[in-house]
Amino acid sequence: MAIRILPPRIASQIAAGEVVERPASVVKELVENALDAHARTVAVETEDGGRRRITVADDGDGIPPEEIALSLERHATSKLAAIEDLDSIRTLGFRGEALASIAAVARVTLTSRARGAEHGMRLSAEDGVGRDPASVGAPQGTVVTVEDLFFSVPARRKFLKSPRTERRRIDSLVARYALAYPEVRFRLNQDGRETFTAPGNGDRREVLAAVFGLDAAERMIELQPIGAEDRVRVGGYVSPVDLSRSNRKDILLFVNRRAIADTALTAAVVQAYHTLLMVGRFPFGAVFIEMPAEDVDVNVHPAKAEVRFREPNAVFSAVQRTVRRALLGSSPAAGIPSPAPWPVRVWGSDRTPSPGPDWMLDHRPDGQTETAGERILQPSVLAPGEVPLLRPVGQVGAAYLIAEGPDGLYLIDQHAAHERVLFEAMQREAPGEPVTQRLLNPEVVELSAAQAAALSPQLDLVRRIGFDVESFGGTAFRVRSVPQLLGGLSPADALRAVVEDFEEDETPLADEAEARLIARVCKRAAVKAGQVLGAEEQAELIRALEQCSSPRTCPHGRPTMIHLPMDLLARRFGRK
Ligand code: ADP
Ligand code: MG
């Protein structure tokens, strides 16, 4: 075939494909236009998952009568005048492509009345060509109706998912904008059913409830921006550690109130939950990143869902640190409403001796005398992620330890607690110098074909945590040393214990993989339920747990302790 220039109609249908991939992309562009026009209310209606019809109505600035035909032209925009403007884009749109692209692949009707205009204008378009502009009576704002999406592009039509799937995408898309613009009222009606509304009263928690459900929304943790003078500020809400999802798709990210997709930042959020969630579970939430417009390039792709940061590492770390900080400040021990702040011993170079239970004995209702215990306890207030000093009381069922704290009773799962202690100890080991146990004689371990295939690419990782192991041909491996924690197992069992992990693994990030592996080792090494512990051992375990940085969960995310506040006990015994 000879080279020739494509007719404009085909060229624009091809170009439209980059902007309009599916019904949800149409909704996205039209909602963005409404928000750019300062709408207070945005109403979206769809039929048949958006293929039959999409209508977006707003009460924003509107389009002046003389500009309405122009708005459908490609590269027609009121939001950008010079290339330098790209550095400081504050609007969601700027490419002037959306209406033109939609009109290239669907029938479009545009009705708009600009603020202060005497009447509205209506214009229809098919194949990208606007027809019959007519003045009409209309309220201030804009209504865009898009019918028979892709009727002229059968190839694209084929790729659409079921109406149900498309409806779901539209639901989640509108929800994202509602989260980003809580001061705007949103209504979404799909096939005659109201599927989403947001009140527009500026209260983001109310929108969260509509998106994630009331229970989850009430328990979500608000992020506090750290470093007021930082260029990157992170806010929003994330799930508490005892709520999770089976995938990452409810981690909603926004940059300067634009919904974005970014695998690295999603990973930053996931990493913040590291060891706080069970393997294979993921957090959810809405994370809002604010930064100067010139630090982020939104002009990466016509759909504007991807952005590029001038300093991606700074953004990554700001997200991860902000989320982590919020989590550690708020993971409550299981089963209790989060306690009022309470005192804790400060762990410094001069270790205070265990104060014993004296603070419990002296209730001091008069507020006069100050006990030694109180002096110790006063210097700092317990961040809710930590645990107070505990007095060991005993063991029950050869599985749980009982301890007393300044505000009630603690039940501690000895296995989970020990896992946490070992995990943090192993993570503190100097990088590259794991504590290992050398075997007297190297041992050759024969693995299954699947285990060998899983282990081979991970030998470096396994060495980092204390195995000295090398391939010995076929599915055999020669082991010279094992992590000290697994010293009680045969070399074969020790190796198999970690290989199991690889078999389940997808493709974790390197340090995530290492932490998981360590968690696995600790699980094997930790004291089991059924083991009777002497008083000394109980006390030692409790002391070690107190010093952990995340004492309330095991590395797999299960709680290590249940706290029964004095209050609750008093109520249960009918004293209150
Ligand atoms: P962009 O949003 O990138 O500027 P669009 O093709 O989406 O490009 O829209 C073209 C222009 O039409 C916009 O710049 C704006 O001036 C006008 N416009 C589109 N939709 C609306 C709306 N809902 N309210 C007011 N003006 C609108
Ligand atoms: Mg636009």
Is the CB of residue 76 below 6 angstroms from any atom belonging to ligand 1? yes
Pocket test for ligand 1, best of 32, 33, 113 (most atoms within 8 A of CB): 33
Q: Do 190 and 46 form a contact (C-beta atoms < 8 A)?
A: yes
Per-residue pLDDT reduced to its tens digit, 77-101 = 888 878 887 778 889 988 888 999 9
Pocket test for ligand 1, best of 29, 40, 44, 71 (most atoms within 8 A of CB): 71
Nearest Cα residue to 85 out of 261, 289, 305, 299: 299
3-class secondary-structure state, position 247: coil
Centroid of ligand 2 to alpha carbon of 355 (angstroms): 65
Using a 10 angstrom Cβ sphere, with 0-12 exposed, 13-18 middle and 19 or more buried, the burial of residue 86 is middle
Residue matched to tokens 């512990």: 533
Centroid of ligand 2 to alpha carbon of 98 (angstroms): 5
- Closest ligand to 85 CA? 1
Residue matched to tokens 């195995």: 467
Helix %, strand %, coil % for the chain, to 5? 35, 25, 40
Q: How far apart are CA 396 and CA 224, in angstroms?
A: 40
Distance (Å) of CA 230 to CA 20, 223, 234, 292, 383: 36, 15, 10, 10, 24
Centroid of ligand 2 to alpha carbon of 76 (angstroms): 10
3-class secondary-structure state, position 348: coil
Nearest Cα residue to 401 out of 522, 519, 540, 520: 540
Is the CB of residue 413 below 6 angstroms from any atom belonging to ligand 1? no
Q: Do 61 and 112 form a contact (C-beta atoms < 8 A)?
A: no
Mean pLDDT by 10 residues, the chain (576 residues): 86 80 94 96 97 97 92 87 80 89 93 94 87 90 95 80 90 94 97 94 92 89 81 94 87 94 93 80 94 89 84 91 85 38 27 30 34 35 63 90 88 92 82 78 87 85 90 92 84 84 58 80 86 85 87 86 87 84
Query: DSSP string covering 314-374, please?
Result: HHHHHHHHHHHHHHHTT-PPBTSPPPPP-EE----SSPPPP-TTHHHH---TTS----HHH
- Closest ligand to 16 CA? 1
Give the β-pairing of 185-190 and 41-47: parallel
Centroid of ligand 1 to alpha carbon of 71 (angstroms): 6
Using a 10 angstrom Cβ sphere, with 0-12 exposed, 13-18 middle and 19 or more buried, the burial of residue 132 is exposed
Q: Do 92 and 79 form a contact (C-beta atoms < 8 A)?
A: no
The ligand 1 atom at the shortest distance from the C-alpha of residue 98 is 6
Half-sphere exposure of 367 (CA within 13 A, CB side): 0
The ligand 1 atom at the shortest distance from the C-alpha of residue 94 is 3
Residue nearest atom 18 in ligand 1 by C-alpha distance: 33
The ligand 1 atom at the shortest distance from the C-alpha of residue 97 is 6
Residue nearest atom 1 in ligand 1 by C-alpha distance: 96
DSSP designation for 492: H
Is the CB of residue 95 below 6 angstroms from any atom belonging to ligand 1? yes
Ordered alpha helix ranges (H), 93-249: 98-105, 154-158, 163-180, 204-212, 214-219
Q: How far apart are CA 486 and CA 506, in angstroms?
A: 25
Q: How far apart are CA 160 and CA 157, in angstroms?
A: 6
3-class secondary-structure state, position 571: helix
Is the CB of residue 59 below 6 angstroms from any atom belonging to ligand 1? no
Residue matched to tokens 């991807």: 306
3-class secondary-structure state, position 43: strand
Q: Do 537 and 293 form a contact (C-beta atoms < 8 A)?
A: no
Instruction: Give me the pLDDT at residue 509, please.
Output: 60
- Closest ligand to 75 CA? 1
- Closest ligand to 114 CA? 1
Is the CB of residue 395 below 6 angstroms from any atom belonging to ligand 1? no
Q: Do 390 and 542 form a contact (C-beta atoms < 8 A)?
A: yes
Sign of CA dihedral 127, 133, 134, 135: positive
Centroid of ligand 2 to alpha carbon of 93 (angstroms): 4
Instruction: Give me the pLDDT at residue 229, please.
Output: 65
Half-sphere exposure of 380 (CA within 13 A, CB side): 12
